[in-house]
Amino acid sequence: MLTFTIRRLILAVPTLIFISLVIFLLLELAPGDPMAQVPLTVPPEVKEKMREALGLGEPMHIRFWKWIVQFFWIEPQVLIDHYLGTSFSQGDLRVISWQTRSPVMDIVVQRMPQTLWVVGTAYVVAIVIALPIGIYSAYRQYSWFDQMGTFVSMVGFSVPPFFSGVLVIVIFSVQLGWFPSIYDTTLVVDSWDSFVKQLQQMIMPVMVLALQITAQLSRFMRASMLDNLNQDYVRTARAKGMSEYVVVMVHVLRNSMIPVVTVIALGIPAIFGGAIITEQVFKVNGIGQLLIGAIQANDLPMVQTLTFIFAVLIVLFNLIADVLYGILDPRIRYD
């Protein structure tokens, strides 16, 4: 297992470099000019100097190589300097946002906690709710509980976040006045009252995100459980006199979790994409809103860095899913 993990990590390096090249070329070919928002009163020669200051006058391959060095070499040094107090990156030019003229990773680190508060909580809540629903729905197939779970799952699949987000705002914020409609990112949790306020403003965005994740995971869990409940090893376990709890929760559940682990692991990067819409609806000042603002401002370094971070998450959690396969199924061996 260790050899397989190291091999996959090594292979991930050229994969990520190729992905970064594709992202860079797509952004270069996309329409738009960073100077489009500059007032028309600015003389053309000043605009040209501004373009040169942003590095737009250099060839594409030079700009791509600079970004690779800054992201893979200088940014890790900055992280080491921050935690160890060293000065490896002193004087080196980092990835700079064209919009704010500050390091991109510093802005990402500032915005990340807000996204993790909402996205992380929504994913944990969805897993805790979806897995028991899927297990019991499969065990009691075609019961009223299964029918109700199917109906709720179809609703969760069908309703997009931009509609369900507005709907819960109208119901719980405008009509009932229970929760705030706008997420206060300046709130500091340093007391019980501030913690309660944080929970109150998290409930609606977490509800919207968790609805979609729960619908997807519960259907996968149900289908996987139904597939394993009819296997020969289940009948053998029951014939040996094992209790129904042991048969279902130990033998069937472990084998059923293999495809569900894939959905959970690969769904974590995808939920950051879904959070883009939810953050816009609830005004959560997180990664999603940062990406939308960077796209509108033609801030290519910010868009490129955020998109590449999403790609890194996909590659990383794909590896985690493969490792978990070997843990859940003893028949799978990588070494």
Sequence-separated contacts (24+) of 245-253 with Cβ below 8 Å: 248/135, 248/139, 249/135, 252/225, 252/228, 253/135, 253/225
- Amino acid 90 reads Q
Domains in the chain: boundaries: 108-332
Model-wide pTM > 0.85: no
Q: 108, 9, 42: which is closest to 308 by C-alpha?
A: 108
Q: Which residues contact 283 (CB under 8 A, 6 or more apart)?
A: 182, 183, 289
User: What is the pLDDT, as a whole number, of residue 192?
Assistant: 81
User: What is the pLDDT, as a whole number, of residue 153?
Assistant: 84
Residue 19 is encoded by which pair of tokens?
């992905």
55 vs 52: CA distance, rounded Å? 5
196 vs 40: CA distance, rounded Å? 49
User: What is the pLDDT, as a whole number, of residue 1?
Assistant: 66
Give 108-332's CATH code, choosing from 3.30.70.3040, 1.10.3720.10, 3.40.640.10, 1.10.357.10. 1.10.3720.10
User: What is the pLDDT, as a whole number, of residue 32?
Assistant: 65
User: What is the pLDDT, as a whole number, of residue 182?
Assistant: 78
Contact 201, 179 (CB under 8 A): yes
User: What is the pLDDT, as a whole number, of residue 183?
Assistant: 76
Contact 130, 213 (CB under 8 A): yes
Sign of CA dihedral 51, 55, 57, 63: negative
248 vs 254: CA distance, rounded Å? 9
* Regions of the chain where pLDDT drops below 50: none
150 vs 157: CA distance, rounded Å? 10
User: What is the pLDDT, as a whole number, of residue 330?
Assistant: 63
State the SS3 of the chain. CHHHHHHHHHHHHHHHHHHHHHHHHHHHHCCCCHHHHCCCCCCHHHHHHHHHHCCCCCCHHHHHHHHHHHHHHHHHHHHHHHHHCCCCCCCCCCCECCCCCCEHHHHHHHHHHHHHHHHHHHHHHHHHHHHHHHHHHHHCCCCHHHHHHHHHHHHHHHCCHHHHHHHHHHHHHHHCCCCCCCCCCCCCCCCHHHHHHHHHHHHHHHHHHHHHHHHHHHHHHHHHHHHHHCCHHHHHHHHCCCCHHHHHHHHHHHHHHHHHHHHHHHHHHHHHHHHHHHHHHHCCCCHHHHHHHHHHCCCHHHHHHHHHHHHHHHHHHHHHHHHHHHHHCCCCCCC
- Whose tokens are 């965005």? That residue is 205
Residue 96: strand pairing partners = 103
Q: What is the CA radius of gyration of the chain?
A: 24
318 vs 153: CA distance, rounded Å? 25
